[in-house]
Amino acid sequence: MHRSRMVEIAALVIILSIMVGITIYSDTIPPISVVASQSMQHSTSWEPGIINTGDMVFIRHVSNPASAVQTYVTGSNSNFSSYGEYGNVMIYTAPNGEQIIHRPLFYLYWHNGHPEVQGYHGQPWIVITTSYVLLKNIGYSHRSLVVYVSQFRGIDGYITAGDYNLGNAGQSLYVPSLNAYAAADQDSGGYLLGFYDPPVNYSQVVGVAYGYIPWLGLLKLQVSWSLGIEKQQNPVPSGSYEYLGAVLAAVVVLTFFPYHRLRRKR
């Protein structure tokens, strides 16, 4: 068999082995999700180590979220962070059936009719009242988040939010008396605007994100947007298409480079 043909077969076997290994480790199909919105970005420009629109994120299924998922609060206690903030990034199924990839900020539970926050042990930046939970000066934007938990009385679950959503919440979600924003997915102005989703229970949790491939998901998104399969809701972070073009150009060069000529010269 020609040597170049053997190299091609070996490369294909390696790629397939990697894909099978990722699928087995992820314990879910598909093991990768393309990010279609800017809700986890920390800027309007592409940033490394952060989840940006067009990134392909690896998902690992968790059978026991209680022990496998760290929230912003518990992550701050153990100094665990991912994608630029404390805690895991979690994939869960919303009541409307849509899968959301956001950060769990804290796990809310109730004790004798009073709200409790898992991981709370007197931290001064966490305020718990019978009406709301306030997290002070959190996230990359150092804003405060208020969640009006009285509307969830007796309902346990995760309170989640997109990193970008809290950092860019508008004045309609601002609470002047607390200098905070009602920007969580389970509030999203529900107390102010009259709608909300309940806290995310364990059965809604799909998994956690554990890595990503930047830019390549833009190929899928661009096709979906062009054909009208999906509606483009948010702009792509600046620099993403340039980086994607450079990667594709490098792949083309490496694929069609005349390696046999180098061997002949040697």
What six digits make up the tokens of 32?
A: 């990768």
Residue type at position 65: P
CB within 8 Å of 214: residues ≥ 6 apart: 46, 48, 52, 54, 55, 56, 240, 243
Query: How far is C-alpha 46 from the chain's CA centre?
Result: 15
| Confidence at residue 21, expressed as pLDDT on a 0 to 100 scale | 61
Q: What H or E segment, with its residue span, contains residue 161? A: strand 157-161
What six digits make up the tokens of 192?
A: 């102010």
What six digits make up the tokens of 117?
A: 């926050």
3-state secondary structure of 200: strand
What Cα–Cα distance (Å) separates residue 159 from each residue in 51, 105, 145?
19, 6, 11
| Confidence at residue 16, expressed as pLDDT on a 0 to 100 scale | 67
* Cα(31)–Cα(259) distance, integer angstroms: 34
Gyration radius of the chain's alpha carbons: 22
* Cα(144)–Cα(125) distance, integer angstroms: 9
Along the 266 residues of the chain, how does pLDDT read in single tens digits? 556 566 556 656 666 666 666 566 555 667 888 998 899 999 999 999 999 999 999 999 998 999 999 999 999 999 999 999 999 999 999 988 888 999 999 999 999 999 999 999 999 999 999 999 999 999 999 999 999 999 899 999 999 999 999 999 989 899 999 999 999 999 876 666 555 689 999 999 999 999 999 999 999 998 888 888 777 777 899 999 999 999 888 888 877 666 556 555 55
Residue type at position 173: L
Query: What is the four-CA torsion angle of 248, 254, 256, 259, rounded to 10 degrees?
Result: 170
CB within 8 Å of 117: residues ≥ 6 apart: 73, 106, 107, 108, 126, 128, 133
CA neighbor of 68 nearest in space, from 16, 31, 116, 104: 104
3-state secondary structure of 60: strand
| Confidence at residue 39, expressed as pLDDT on a 0 to 100 scale | 92
Query: How would DSSP label each residue in 101-129?
Result: EEEEEEEEEEETTEEEETT-SS-TTEEE-
C-beta atoms surrounding 229 within 10 Å = 10
Name the pairing type of β-strands 126-128 and 114-117: unpaired
CA neighbor of 119 nearest in space, from 106, 134, 130: 106
